[in-house]
Amino acid sequence: MELAGAVVVVTGGTGGLGSRICRAFGRAGARVAVVYLERQGQANALATELLAGGAAGSLDVQADVTQVGPISGMIERVLEEWGRLDVLVNNAAFNQYVAYPDLDSMTQELWQKILYCNVTGPFLCSKAVAPVMKRQGSGRIVNIGSTAGFSPGGSSIAYAVSKAALAHLTRCLAVAFAPEVLVNGVAPGLMEGTRMTARLHPDQVRRASEEAALGRPVDKDDVADQVVTFARTDSTTGQNVIIDSGRVFH
């Protein structure tokens, strides 16, 4: 897919990784919709920055991407502005640290919130954009997972299970939406400067770097570049790429 002028929607666009993804697409000359839940000022500032950095267009869109109504409103806003939607990046997610043995603290409410935000939300967004992309004859969906989906780790059992489910959802949607829409996933390891990492236990953060073959955290720009690569591809679908400085070998 040619990204110059393409319309890209990034959920969780104001986060540490989400903003890097937005910038990477902006540098590629895409039109980028920065989707946010609460941080309007940051979303607006980022949209302005994208235009200065080479984006063909930018837009900040408020939406709760776990609810059908706001998701529909988000898509309608993008279509009203640009008339098409080429790439969806399901980056928005939620975590909360709960040690694996502490099952009493993993309440049903917390379990449901993590699973709903990290699996059901991406499913609902993907389901909503697929008809638009199919009518266009092409589209790309990239899901942001985690190495926790491939090895027991991350902030909690619920988080690991949610990311494992997202990895398989990626494969299943690749089959469901083919041949017009390609669906892939990127699963980062520990990245500094994200809200997800800020919610981890400090010992967990330390071990993640120490146990990696490269001995360092993941570069957020490396992750963003892989997302852009999946948006460009015409031949890859249903794949999950791990980027974790050499910790989980899948």
Catalytic position from the list 36, 97, 116, 159: 159
Q: Which long-range contacts link 162-167 to residues 24+ away (Cβ below 8 Å)?
A: 162/93, 162/114, 162/115, 162/117, 162/118, 162/119, 163/118, 163/187, 165/115, 165/118, 165/119, 166/118, 166/119, 166/122, 167/143, 167/240
3-state secondary structure of 56: coil
Q: What are phi and psi of 37, to 5 degrees?
A: -100, -50
Cα gap 218→125, rounded to integer Å = 27
Residue type, position 16, single letter: G
Whether 159 is catalytic is yes
Q: Which of 21, 9, 13, 16 is nearest to 37 (CA)?
A: 13
Residue that is written with structure tokens 């502490």 in the block: 102
Q: What span, in angstroms and rounded, lies between the C-alpha atoms of 95 and 156?
A: 8
Which residues have a catalytic role annotated?
159
